[in-house]
Amino acid sequence: MKPVGECSARNGMCTSMDGSPAVMNDGGPGEGSGAACCHRAGDEFYMREALKCAKRAFAKGEAPVGAVIVKGGAIIARAHNEREAKQDATLHAEMTAIRKACKKLGLWRLTGCVMYVTLEPCAMCAGAAVLARLDRVVYGASDPKAGACGTVLDVIGAPGLNHRPEVSQGVMRGDCASLLTSFFTKLRKKPPSPMIDPLGNGGQQSE
């Protein structure tokens, strides 16, 4: 194990849930979690997989947010936004990924699982991560309008919860934000439609 210095964790430093300095695994994708750390070996690998899902959403005219859930080094669920296609407000990438993972494992408790998502989860999705007992949530771009992992709200970090997943942010932030910006820029050039940029500030964030 090697100490990890400054990074883009919630408070700018890698820390474990108890506030102690964190350490990073030396291993690659699929290695056990070992100790708590904001960014770990393998995070970019899995975030790239989430970005692939987000790009599929982009191609379908959905806000480009993708998510994957990993257990024991294997991806057990992949999903992207489907809210527009199915006209269902709950079909964010995280919600669909959690449903798929529960079905795959035959369990509602996703203990030992990590969710990678390209955009900071909203209140609904952050709450679902808590209820599903995910070990960790890793996201790329922060959401200044709806982010519920410490930006606007801190659903996961709320005191009194009986389970709080670890949260890591900023993994491939630039790539994740760029995809969202490109999508909403393209959207603005089209004739008016029911789907608009919910931010009105460059389209970087929010599902």
- Residue 140: phi and psi, rounded to 5, are -90, -80
d(CA 141, CA 175): 8
> What is residue 118's three-state secondary structure?
strand
Interhelix angle for 173-188 vs 43-59, to 10°? 10
Catalytic annotation present for 94: yes
**Cβ atoms within 10 Å of 149's Cβ, excluding its own:** 27
Active-site residue, from 62, 94, 120, 166: 94
The string of DSSP codes covering 134-148 is -SEEEEEE--TTT-T
Instruction: State pTM to two decimals.
Output: 0.76
pLDDT in tens, the chain (207 residues): 333 333 444 433 343 333 333 333 333 343 333 333 467 879 999 999 999 999 999 999 999 999 999 999 999 999 999 999 999 999 999 999 999 999 999 999 999 999 999 999 999 999 999 999 999 999 999 999 999 999 999 999 999 999 999 999 999 999 999 999 999 888 777 766 555 454 454 444 556
